Structure 1
Amino acid sequence: MKIENRLFIITGGASGLGKETAKTIVRHGGYVGIIDLNAKASDDLVEKLDAKNACFPGPVDVSSESQVDEALVKIMRHFSSVRLGGAVLCSGVLFAPPRVKGYGPGNKLTSYQQFQYIINVNLLGTYNVAQKVSELLLSNEPTEEDGERGVILTTSSITGLDGTIVGYGTSKAAVAGLTLPLAKELAEFGIRSISIAPGPFDTPILDNDANIKAPPCLFPRRYGRPAEFASTVVHLITHPMFNGSVVRLDAGLRA
């Protein structure tokens, strides 16, 4: 599927991997609807990309059905003459906020409340937007090559595939596990489902206060760059044979 003259919904689009993806899609002639909680960063990005190319409907919690519904209505109205191409779902949290306490020595073990918070954002929030964008894609005429209507691209993590970090890793394992069942459910309607599982990337989610020092990748021995994630997104969108797969983007690192 081509990117040019297509609209893509980007969650977590105001920073990190989502921001770079939004910028890259616009450079390729596409349009972006940014879903994020950070209003200032989102507004700044829209100003940089130009309102004719990007839209921010206001702060959105991806785990809220009503907020996502309202945001998609505003975005689709803003781009009323542009065909929806799909979604790139990058929003996520590594840990619950400090107000949500852990248990055990030093409160360092994962409490149910922490686990629930992370699952709500990373898994349920991902599926919330994926499902609602898929529903919109159903109304597309299958005019793309092979009768394709669109693509849903999620972000997993090697922590999910390799089994580390209880809350975050479990939520990302679930996102990876969603990929093939969703592809099978949507295949009849010409909608693809793909996931990228990055290793550590140089983004704000690598918080210095997290008490977890991510190792460099195997080779190249560094963190990934957001532009490398975004270029992978472009390849997966435009290559129709990628479907139902989880693509590791980790330079050989195993968590």
Structure 2
Amino acid sequence: MPRLEDKVAIITGGAAGIGLATAALFLREGAKVCLVDLKQSDLDVAEKELGHADRVFSVAADVSNESDVQKFIQATLAHFSRIDVLVNNAGIECKPAAVHEQATEHFDRVMAVNARGVFLGMKYALPHMLKAKSGSIINMSSVAGLDGFGNMSPYVASKHAVVGLTKSAALEAGPFGVRVNSVHPSPIHTRMMRAIEETMNPGHGKEVQSQFEQIIPMQHYGEPMDVANLVLFLASDDSSFITGCQYRVDGGMGAS
């Protein structure tokens, strides 16, 4: 039997990268999926690539905007009547600079998407899960949510915030049978990593990739599906007694 048969999942940042890989895996395992991303044009392409038109639809939304979050929660309920899984995957990178050189408005924007977006997703999905006494929330953090990295303070702060939100929500929701966990990838071959590489050394992204790979014991980036496989486990009943945990998908970076 498919591991997510008839489960209803919302995946933010679902038009590409880890979100799209997760959607493909969820659909393969029998789920119904609401994809959320900023641009409807990107979502249209993703829907076409995924197929399964009877089990997937999309909503263009900014996860840092409270009314937008309410919109995709209500749209999912209208389409599929319930919410079983929420994958808070949407996120943005930061511009590299020391703390004292970071623009305050940039810090605020990174925190708004990466931390406030997770908070809002849980705020509006949890009541429906608590009422059903069932559900799983997977919050996408990063190795930067567990370790410190210089010149990335907005991103590091936002991803550490995800851990705190995850642990607090897990304690609150556990008595109702709802689980909340966070996932912490190292560099993964995604559009975001290409943007980070280019920002760090314009025109020399491959050199930046090589530098990152040297600090990963397995000596290469992961693939979106490496992360999606873990998200599937946490979304499924295979992880029914797991909550409040932080899971690395990092090629060994956490071993040092």
Q: Aligning the two structures, in what range does the TM-score lie when normalised by the shorter sequence?
A: 0.7 to 0.9
The CA deviation at 1:95 is 2.0
Q: Which amino acid aligns with 1:88?
A: V
Q: Kindly report which structure 2 residues correspond to 1:24-63, keeping only aligned pairs within 5 A, or say none.
A: 24-48=25-49, 49-57=51-59, 59-63=60-64
The alpha-carbon distance between structure 1 residues 103 and 199, as it changes in their structure 2 partners (threshold 3 A), is closer
2:229 counterpart of 1:231: yes
Structure 2: which 5+ residue stretches go unaligned? 202-207
Q: Distance in 1 between matches of 2:219 and 2:163?
A: 25
**C-alpha contact (below 8 Å) 1:118/1:168 kept by paired residues:** yes
Q: Which amino acid aligns with 1:60?
A: A
Q: Please, what TM-score do these two structures have when normalized by structure 1?
A: 0.87
Q: How many residues align?
A: 238
Aligned partner of residue 138 in structure 1, secondary structure: helix
Report which stretch shifted further, 213-222 or 70-79. Answer: 213-222
Q: Distance in 2 between matches of 1:108 and 1:15?
A: 33
Name the residue aligned to 1:99: none
Name the residue aligned to 1:159: 144
Aligned partner of residue 159 in structure 1, secondary structure: helix
Name the residue aligned to 1:90: 89
Deviation track 1:125-166 (CA, whole Å, cap 9, x = no partner) reads 1110122111121232x4xxxxxx001100111112111110
**C-alpha contact (below 8 Å) 1:183/1:193 kept by paired residues:** yes
Superposition CA RMSD, Å: 2.2
The CA deviation at 1:60 is 0.2
**C-alpha contact (below 8 Å) 1:85/1:151 kept by paired residues:** yes
Name the residue aligned to 2:247: 247
Aligned partner of residue 139 in structure 1, secondary structure: helix
Q: Kindly report which structure 2 residues correspond to 1:1-255, keeping only aligned pairs within 5 A, or say none.
A: 2-48=3-49, 49-57=51-59, 59-80=60-81, 83-95=82-94, 109-140=101-132, 142=133, 149-164=134-149, 165-206=152-193, 207=195, 208-211=197-200, 213-214=208-209, 215-216=212-213, 218-238=216-236, 239-253=239-253
**C-alpha contact (below 8 Å) 2:174/2:243 kept by paired residues:** no
Report which stretch shifted further, 109-118 or 41-50. Answer: 41-50
**C-alpha contact (below 8 Å) 2:163/2:246 kept by paired residues:** yes
The CA deviation at 1:190 is 1.0
Q: Which amino acid aligns with 1:120?
A: A
Q: Which amino acid aligns with 1:252?
A: G
Aligned partner of residue 8 in structure 1, secondary structure: strand
Structure 1: which 5+ residue stretches go unaligned? 97-101, 143-148
Name the residue aligned to 1:146: none
The alpha-carbon distance between structure 1 residues 158 and 74, as it changes in their structure 2 partners (threshold 3 A), is same
Q: Distance in 2 between matches of 1:69 and 1:174?
A: 22
Aligned residues with identical type, % of pairs:
29
Q: Distance in 1 between matches of 2:188 and 2:94?
A: 16
The alpha-carbon distance between structure 1 residues 211 and 108, as it changes in their structure 2 partners (threshold 3 A), is farther
The alpha-carbon distance between structure 1 residues 108 and 20, as it changes in their structure 2 partners (threshold 3 A), is farther
The CA deviation at 1:108 is 9.1
Q: Distance in 2 between matches of 1:156 and 1:52?
A: 31
**C-alpha contact (below 8 Å) 1:56/1:75 kept by paired residues:** no
Higher helix share: 2
Q: Distance in 1 between matches of 2:6 and 2:44?
A: 22
